Amino acid sequence: MSINYKVIPRKKPGDQTAVPKYYGSINSKGRRNVRYIAKQIAERSSLNVMDVLSVIEGFLQIIPETLNDGYKVDLGEFGNMGLIAKSKAAQTEDEFNASYIEGLKVSFLPGKLFKQTLDDAEFKKID
């Protein structure tokens, strides 16, 4: 298995007259949906696809609820998930209140197993 990439030129932002430099850009082979993942898990376990789909659906419901309750999600060697706030600045700490928070982003920090798998990735150049 390999990860496809293309080489693309990029100019310095704000300077369209600059000579472009070339960077690698990952090119997705497509998408894999929950049913595909459930089938793969079922083939590697004693569970059937419907049982796996049920567990995945529960997982997908619990994760956002857990984050919304203010907890980080520890997925063992796979990684950790948490929330990061996007906010406007206040002049003083006392001035700051919840109305300054403009939104949330989900942060994912890959764990040991996840990093090891990515470290072993092979790349294939495509045109």
Q: How confident is the model over 115-119, as a mean pLDDT?
A: 93
Nearest C-alpha neighbor of 85 from the set 101, 70, 67: 101
Element (H, E) at 38: helix 34-43
Report pLDDT digits (tens) over 35-89.
999 999 999 999 999 999 999 999 999 999 999 999 999 999 999 999 999 999 9
Distance, in Å, from the CA atom of 89 to the CA atom of 13, rounded to the nearest integer, reads 26
2-17 per-residue burial string, b: 16 or more CB within 10 A, e: under 16: eeeeeeeeeeeeeeee
Report pLDDT digits (tens) over 81-101.
999 999 999 999 999 999 999
Single-letter amino acid code for the residue at 70: G
